[in-house]
Structure 1
Amino acid sequence: MRVVLSLCLVVSVLQGAVQCDHHHQNHNGNHKHQDHHEKEHKEHQHPAMDKRACHKIAGANTEFAFNLYKQIAESGSSDNVFFSPLSISTAMSMLSLGARSTTKDQIVEGLGLNITNTTDKEIHEGFHHLIHMLNDANSDLQLNTGNVLFISEDLKMLPTFLEDVKNYYESNAFTTDFKNEEEAKKQINDHVEKKTNGKIVDLLQSVDQSALMVLVNFIVFKGKWEKVFDPKLTKEDTFFVDENTTVRVPMMEQEGSIHTWKDREMPCTVVRLNYAGNASAFFILPDEGKMKQVEEGLSAATLQKWRHTDRERRCSLHIPKFSISATCDLKKVLLKVGMIEVFSDIADLSRITGQRNLKASKAVHKAMLSIDEQGTEAAGATAVEIKPRFIPRPVILNRPFLFLLYGDITESLLFMGRINNPTQT
């Protein structure tokens, strides 16, 4: 069984109330911006790669993830909810490099980070270390994340900002002609599609002529389970979307020793499936009518409890085979978590240009999740499993459930969502 996850976040930075200084800068292709990127700050290069660097921000990232989820889910929509909290926090933290004063404080506090106990350097080194670990070529996980800036030919940027986003966030930069809206949109969408291996297409529906910068973060994940699902056992079954709606879905099945348990404090059943390569997926099936109660109980402490619960029982597990995508107008959600100034005319993003002439105008988030039966090449040992004559009551995910994907080494929540209807693409 393989899980494929792709994500892209975009923040567009537009001209604010103050006119930009567009003088004395002639960009020739990508050269001006990329020259800055070649200048490495030695003090920033892979800072000791101590696990504590990313672990220092891990708790805040998890709380931010659940806070963001609750803001998205509270709309009451019956649509699927799916996003990468890590992608969003990475992009906003990168943007905070260009912010000052209360604009910066709102971004950092909105991310759940304690500005009293955590320095700016610790925050950015934490994300730097996290990106480095996620992109580890030696890991069994196929995971790739990156950041890109698309910058207007008219935007005069401070070299220190470009150097910092390169050194901390490994970001690339490209010059973009936003006055040619269609060409700018195509340049950005084509880049995102290429970097996500064709999983995220047509991210931007439009680009504003007055845009000066578009910031993109992408993350792609391919995971293979330690214990595979036999495609021969997949059969069509009923999924109960709500009291009045049912759909038919291919339901995968696995019998044997499964990490699954009934939570004693929250009305739900938890299933944990491990990936080869230090990552775990949690499927949370609320009791009938208890979805809202379970959602309200989501927290970093809850996740920690589930991570350290090591209960296995022999059962028959049934999980839908599906592929979904979800798009979110992230600006509305970020406003709710307190990031207000950065989207207003009083935004202070003066660390980008040296002037208070910019504001963020748009934040778009698109993610995709696909689950199928493709297993690992080294799955022979786990595929040969003695089945008991009697299988206890099965665990069947045939109604809306929550999905969490957790990176064990980085202690980071990579993806999360609510699957209301697995047939909704």
Structure 2
Amino acid sequence: MNLVAELLCLLACLTAVTCDRVYVHPFNLFSFNKSTCEELESLDQEGKETFVPVSIESQTTAAYEDDLDDKDKLEAPSLSVLGRQKLSYLKHFVYILGARFYSVLREARQGQNVLLSPTSLYGSLVSFYLGASNQTAADLQRLLGFVPPSGEPDCTSRVDGHKVLSSLRMIESLIKSMDEELLFSKMLCLFSAPGVPLSQLFVQDLLPSTDALYVRAVDFTNPSKAAKQINAFMEAKSKGQTKCLLTDIDPSAELLFAVDVRLTVNIEQASRLKEPQEFWVDSNTKVLVPMLSVTGTFKYKTDASGTFSVVEVPISKTTLLVLLQPINGSDLAQVESELPLQSPAWLQQLSPREIRLRLPELTIEGSCDLQELLADMKLPALLGKGADLSKISNINLTVGKVQYPSPALKKYASCSVSASLTV
């Protein structure tokens, strides 16, 4: 059960992009150039303009909010040679960082369901990079995979976060424009403590990266009430699709950042079986559950070690469901631990084969603390209380618990995946 969710969320949001033969260092594709650097000083002055968000209880629609109904469709993308190179490099960075977080999370959640959306997590970290300064910005840039090729540290050794967010959005545009069967939506919410000023430029920089952006003030000193208000607000804005995002909030926090990403695919070839079937949760436990049946020609292989088999199930034009099954008495946990996630060679050399699959009809939910994951990666202070987020606000923000509610996966004849990140 956990394997289906793990691999779907790890692989579904990554799309293959062709790469040109001319080599360009990936850092130079996303860094500031000298002419842009000359404009940064004036931009820094503009970034000092702030505003105080309206209360979450207000019925006013603020001018800085972008309504979901006005951006329900992404424009059809047009990729240049440079654009293709950017996406080719960026998908590699997203995969590598996603695999690192997944490995840490899997170690902490042994025997439990593990859900992770690499693109959502990466995009959220880029958003914080846009709001960070000094050492915090440098540490985030390094975590995102961008290391300057050489030279003295200066403006040109910094990555332009706008270019990165734009490329991530292009991936979403490609997925959406190439696949009419797939429904994709993304909502971003910023919640700040009452009276806390936020940078107008920072909020404007986030607008192109999402379908909808909402900024509200919430009193975090009453954590229970604040959680209920935020959950109700996001449920209303998502038209009932997002529920129970938060269970607790740090009362000392002054900023909360939430992203809801929803991916829905209708699997037309799937049919429900009339009676519940046996499903093995692990090698010792089985339960009766509703099952789906799918028959078709799928790519398949048995690993050379003889310990597992792999099946690729296309559930739309741009989305794959990858299933891994232990065989010959091998243990699932051991098989997973030996898979090279950062180099998916085990997904190569699959051959077409007529297969009938039976999959459980299920709902999986979970959450994890991003701060704990960063601590396990030896980065406990990166988004902690000492983080320099001076481009988000002109006051010294207190960032509380960083919680990453994992994507809630529902598998029926249609499949829905959502993801969110809170600070």
State the distance in 2 between where 1:46 and 1:236 align. Answer: 43
Equivalent position of 2:147 in the other structure = 115
The structure-2 alpha-carbon separation of the partners of 1:37 and 1:245, relative to structure 1 and needing over 3 Å to count, comes to: closer
Is 1:145 the counterpart of 2:177? The answer is: no
Secondary structure at the aligned position of 2:115 is classed as: strand
Of 202, 205, 212, the residue aligned with 1:161 is 202
Q: Which amino acid aligns with 1:73?
A: R
Distance of 1:161 and 1:220 partners within structure 2: 24
Shift of 1:282: 0.7
**How many Å apart are 1:239 and its aligned residue?**
2.5
- Number of the residue aligned with 2:259: 217
Distance in structure 2 (CA, Å) of the matches to 1:263 and 1:197:
44
Deviation of 1:286 (Å): 2.7
Task: Name the counterpart of 1:172.
Answer: 213
Amino acid at match of 2:226: A
What is the identity, as a one-letter code, of the residue corresponding to 2:196? L
- Equivalent positions of 1:292-331 (< 5 A) are 292-302=334-344, 306=347, 309-331=349-371
Contact persistence 1:61–1:89 (CA under 8 A): yes
Q: Which residue of 2 aligns with 1:83?
A: 116
Is the strand fraction higher in 1 or 2?
1
- The answer on 1:252 being equivalent to 2:284 is no
Q: Separation in 2 of the partners of 1:195 and 1:259?
A: 40
| Structure 1 pair 31–120 and aligned structure 2 pair: CA distance change class (3 A) | farther
SS in 2 for 1:150: strand
What residue number does 2:135 align with? Answer: 102
1:65 aligns with 98
SS in 2 for 1:301: coil
Give deviations 1:90-134, integer Å, cap 9, x for gaps. 2122111111233223333334x2232682343233223234445
Q: Which residue of 1 aligns with 2:228?
A: 186
Give the TM-score normalised by structure 1. 0.70
Q: Which amino acid aligns with 1:107?
A: L
Change (3 A) 1:266 1:190: farther
Determine if the alignment matches structure 1 residue 93 to structure 2 residue 126: yes
Match runs of 1:19-38 below 5 Å: 27-29=53-55, 34-36=62-64
C-alpha displacement of 1:253: 3.0
Show the 5 A alignment for 1:194-343. Answer: 194-196=236-238, 198-225=240-267, 228-231=269-272, 233=273, 235-264=275-304, 267-287=307-327, 288-302=330-344, 306=347, 309-343=349-383
State the AA in 2 paired with 1:224.
N
Distance 1:339 1:31 in 2: 40
Shift of 1:362: 2.3
State whether residues 330 and 365 of structure 1, in contact with CA within 8 Å, keep that contact through their aligned partners in structure 2: no
**Distance (whole Å) between structure 1 residues aligned to residue 288 and residue 120 of structure 2:** 32
SS at match of 2:382: helix
Task: Give the secondary structure class of the aligned counterpart of 1:105.
Answer: helix
Using the TM superposition, give the Cα deviation of residue 142 of structure 1 relative to its aligned residue in structure 2, in angstroms: 0.9
Gaps of 5+ in 2: 10-49, 67-74, 150-157
Q: Measure the CA separation in 2 of the matches of 1:155 and 1:278.
A: 42
Q: Distance in 2 between matches of 1:185 and 1:344?
A: 21
* DSSP-derived class of the 2:392 partner: helix
Contact 2:185 2:211 in 1 (8 A): no
Query: Is the alpha carbon distance of 1:110 and 1:335 closer, same or farther for their aligned partners in structure 2, counting shifts above 3 Å?
Result: farther
Kept in 1, the 8 Å contact 2:194–2:217? The answer is yes
- For the residues of structure 2 that align with 1:285 and 1:47, how far apart are their CA atoms? 37
Q: How many residues align?
A: 349
SS at match of 1:119: coil
Structure 1: gaps (5+ residues): 7-23, 39-44, 376-404, 406-413, 416-425
Residues 286 and 294, structure 1, Cα contact 8 Å, conserved in 2: no
Among 151, 170, 181, the alignment partner of 1:129 is: 170
- For residues 223 and 313 of structure 2, the distance between their equivalents in structure 1, rounded to whole angstroms, comes to 45
CA drift of 1:170 comes to 5.7
Matched residues in 1 for 2:400 and 2:143: separation? 15
Identify if the C-alpha distance between structure 1 residues 46 and 103 changes in structure 2 by more than 3 Å, giving closer, same or farther.
farther
CA shift for structure 1 position 145: 1.6
- In structure 2, what residue type is equivalent to 1:78? G
The answer to whether the 8 A contact 2:369-2:401 is kept is no
- Residue 138 of structure 2 aligns with an amino acid whose one-letter code is D
Asked which structure has the greater RCO (Cα within 8 Å, sep 6+), the reply is 1
**Residue from 413, 419, 422 that aligns with 1:373:** 413
Q: Shift in Å at residue 332 of structure 1?
A: 0.8
For 1:323, what is the secondary structure of its paired residue? Answer: strand
The alpha carbon displacement at 1:368 in A equals 1.4
**Is residue 327–residue 365 contact of structure 1 (8 Å, CA) maintained in 2?**
yes
Aligned partners of 2:253 and 2:398 also within 8 Å: no
Letter in 1 for 2:146: N
* Closer/same/farther in 2, CA of residues 65 and 73 from structure 1, 3 Å limit: same
The answer to whether the Cα contact below 8 Å between 1:150 and 1:215 also exists between their aligned partners in 2 is: yes
CA RMSD of aligned residues (A): 3.7
How far apart in 1 are the matches of 2:403 and 2:355?
43
CA shift at 1:80, angstroms?
1.5
More off after superposition, 256-265 vs 83-92: 256-265
2: CA distance, partners of 1:171 / 1:150: 14
Report the Cα distance in structure 2 between the residues aligned to 1:157 and 1:170, rounded to whole angstroms. 21
Q: Which amino acid aligns with 1:370?
A: K
Shift of 1:325: 1.4
Residue-by-residue CA offset, 1:126-184 (whole Å, 9 max, x unaligned): 22323444565973311112212122331122222122122445662322231454553
Structure 2 counterpart of 1:90, one-letter code: G
